[in-house]
Chains A and B, each alone.
Chain A
Amino acid sequence: MAVMNMIQAINSAMDVAMERDPDVIVFGEDVGYFGGVFRATAGLQKKFGKNRAFDTPISENGIVGVAVGMAAYGLRPVPEIQFADYIYPGLDQLVSEAARLRYRSAGEFTAPITVRSPFGGGIFGGQTHSQSPEAIFAHVAGLKTVIPSNPYDAKGLLIAAIEDNDPVIFFEPKRIYNGPFDGHYDRPVQPWSRHPASEVPEGHYTVPLGKAAVVRGGEAVTILAYGTMVHVVMGVVAEQGIDAEVVDLRTIVPVDIATIEASVKKTGRCLIVHEATRTGGFGAELSALVTERCFHHLESPVERVTGWDTPYPHSLEWAYFPGPVRVGEALKRILED
């Protein structure tokens, strides 16, 4: 065991995967020599050589497009998109190609690629360094979407994603790269070393895709969250002494419906929290699933605390970000209903 922050855990996952499988290949903008703008790929080129960890031109459709071709050859590419906000030029290759290759060729060709990309807000990143576009990918048949919330899961999920034979979008909440963030932007940030999930095995292990984690058991209300929001929710629950069951989804496609269903049927109430904008967000899918499957167990309406339906603003960040105040007010409404 070693104490790692999220970046170190992600770096370790790629190191382990590259060590075990010579077909794993890592590339993206500034990923090679420099080791990535967030240092996620630091040391990989030096250790594995330029044939396996290299820099690319600034072209997201090129990065994803060549990854699909490499996968068709038989490699297991792990391309990086520098910020999730810049994944859109690669969307055609992801949606029309990577996601459908297995289906349209009846399994002749596959795209076992893992697209890593830092995502989410809370860092004064403004409009193009803060977005949470997971719902766009959740709507695409053939893609898996994974979002870790701590170093242990980040490494285990990333190794599982790289080893998975389907294309995986792996969104890394950059706000919690260095430490968990409970939404209290006015307090000093705690490092990961004080959190139990920073204990990370140095070698190979996996956290299965498609499995949620109940990070806190409770009876009064189920809270569904992922990424940074897990820590915001945990902070509110602890401060207010609410007996909530907090479910960290970890994978949003395929979502762990069994865990969600069991929890909501037990508590009878459900709050969904995500940073992404509300309309058409993944919370809408979760709300529909809970309503369809737990309708007769519900004691209050399913609520969503999300980013507002606006582009992500800069100076207005803490009014936009679904922080402790908004989560707390929603919990009050749900529990008083």
Chain B
Amino acid sequence: MSTTQAGEGRNIPPLSLHVPEPRYRPGDIVSFAEDPTLAEAGAVRRPAPDAAPDTMRDLPYTLVRVLDPEGRAVGPWDPRLSPDRVRAMLRKMMLTRAYDERMYRAQRAGKTSFYMKCTGEEAVSIAAAEALDRGDMCFPSYRQQGLLIARDWSLVDMMCQVYSNRGDRLKGRQLPIMYSVKEAGFFSISGNLTTQYPQAVGWAMASAAKGDTRIAAAWCGEGSTAEGDFHSALTFASVYRAPVILNVVNNQWAISSFQGFAGGEATTFAARALGYGVAGLRVDGNDALAVYAATEWAAERARGNHGPTLIEMFTYRAEGHSTSDDPSAYRAADEAKCFPLGDPVERLKAHLILLGEWDEARHAAQAEEVAVQVRDAQREAEKLGVLSGGDFKQDFQTMFEDVFEEMPWNLAEQRDQMNAERKAAGI
């Protein structure tokens, strides 16, 4: 084995390490140049949902879009939804945004410890949920609160979880926003990234093994695709042709790391599907009709036993990662405004107005209406206490429950010890 040092006996330059760098940093003027991967609306073909993956190798490198710059729905992916369904989708996206605004302010007001908004990504969860059946199981990450709202889950119930109050179905055990709602087909959220990916595949495998007709869908961010579980999930999904939709929400940022640190400089995230022999789509995540159409296509594929689909939802994380994050420390301030795919709510609104099915006055009235709905829900939820209020009076003994189905001796002893110590200390 030779151990040649740089330059030693050979006239070659030294190696250099490539460390990716985002295009813009704080203080930079943002000007998104034409991105060749951002196809025009209507330009991408729509294969049959049972097409073999090797006949669709072009799709991960382009972008499925339905809404054109004026708001027209064009091309083969237009899902041709009734105006009522589109209006319902718009309302749920507006409700999700209003909910986020309210909970963000509740955290800033000190009523809870933590919150994460999904601003700019509402279509990714709302439109996808609209295209799935209610019996299909969703395995979300922490930024798909829209799935619960799309499935008409109680805002009060969600807020109680955020406040960890007496109404919290998770009994104060989980960090705010780590919802779990089995009834709404919304799997328990974990703080550990991408663990839900193989779990969704396993759920889908179980459904297939039992001869069921339900399918599973999972979401992770583009940053989390770097986790090993992403690879396992794709491998298992491919091997067993699991009826699952694996969504990668590429919002360009994993906290402070731009998507280049997940490997996005060299390729698209949808293209990861190709190496696994899985169908891959790359979709305009701010185009609710495109998200709906792609999800509907993948669901039909899964339900027909034609296997899994990986969908890259191309979008932008318009705000900070969480209430603990300040994006002005690592990215240009107006990047969200300059993002070429715009805002999902504004684009769907423009579409409906163009159709003559919506107008500014109705939009303003609906914005007011969802704000009132959220405010009323907040009042209800706060009657059951808020985290910092000191009045949430949970039964601390429940801390020891549900570790196991039956409480073992050591936990019973520890519970009794806690009670005795608190009593002795006069608490």
A82-104 to B contact mask, C-beta < 8 Å, 1/0: 00000001001100110011111
A43-63 to B contact mask, C-beta < 8 Å, 1/0: 000000001100011010110
List residues 159-190 of chain A with CB under 8 A from any CB of chain B: 164-166
Q: Does A66 contact B (CB under 8 A)?
A: yes
Q: Is the CB of B402 within 8 A of A106?
A: yes
Q: Does B187 contact A (CB under 8 A)?
A: yes
Q: Is the CB of A57 within 8 A of B403?
A: no
A179 to B248, CA, bound (A): 51
Stretch of A34-42, A68-76, A118-126, A237-245 lying at the B interface: A68-76
Q: Does B251 contact A (CB under 8 A)?
A: no
Q: Is the CB of A69 within 8 A of B199?
A: yes
Q: List 27 A-B contacts (CB under 8 A).
A: A59-B236, A62-B232, A65-B195, A65-B198, A65-B229, A68-B199, A69-B200, A69-B206, A70-B202, A70-B203, A70-B206, A72-B203, A73-B137, A89-B228, A92-B195, A92-B229, A97-B192, A97-B199, A103-B173, A103-B402, A104-B174, A108-B180, A109-B187, A144-B404, A166-B404, A254-B404, A254-B410
* A97 nearest in chain B by CB position: B195
Q: Which residues of A contact B236 (CB under 8 A)?
A: 56-57, 59, 62, 65-66
* A255 nearest in chain B by CB position: B410
Q: Does A210 contact B (CB under 8 A)?
A: yes
Residue from the list B200, B229, B235, B408 in contact with A57, Cβ < 8 A: B235
Q: Does A141 contact B (CB under 8 A)?
A: yes
Q: Does B57 contact A (CB under 8 A)?
A: no
For chain B, the count of residues having a C-beta within 8 Å of the partner chain is 46
Q: Is the CB of A59 within 8 A of B202?
A: no
Q: Does A25 contact B (CB under 8 A)?
A: yes
List residues 203-229 of chain B with CB under 8 A from any CB of chain A: 203-207, 209-210, 216, 228-229
Q: Which residues of A contact B409 (CB under 8 A)?
A: 254, 257-258
Q: Does A107 contact B (CB under 8 A)?
A: yes
Q: Is the CB of B169 within 8 A of A106?
A: yes
Q: Does A105 contact B (CB under 8 A)?
A: yes
Q: Is the CB of A106 within 8 A of B403?
A: no
A100 to B201, CA, bound (A): 19
Q: Does B405 contact A (CB under 8 A)?
A: yes
Q: Does A142 contact B (CB under 8 A)?
A: yes
Q: Does B190 contact A (CB under 8 A)?
A: yes
Q: Do A93 and B402 form a contact, CB below 8 Å, given A73-B207, A101-B188?
A: no
Q: Which residues of A contact B187 (CB under 8 A)?
A: 72, 109
Residue from the list A57, A61, A100, A104 in contact with B239, Cβ < 8 A: A57
Q: Is the CB of A106 within 8 A of B173?
A: yes
Q: Does A331 contact B (CB under 8 A)?
A: no
Q: Which residues of A contact B408 (CB under 8 A)?
A: 210, 254
Given contacts A57-B239, A66-B198, 5 further A-B contacts (CB under 8 A): A57-B235, A68-B198, A70-B205, A102-B402, A102-B404
Q: Do A106 and B180 form a contact, CB below 8 Å, given A65-B195, A66-B205, A74-B206?
A: yes
Q: Does A67 contact B (CB under 8 A)?
A: yes
* B180 nearest in chain A by CB position: A105
Residue from the list B170, B209, B233, B405 in contact with A105, Cβ < 8 A: B170
* A66 nearest in chain B by CB position: B202
Q: Do A25 and B170 form a contact, CB below 8 Å, given A57-B235, A65-B195, A65-B233?
A: no
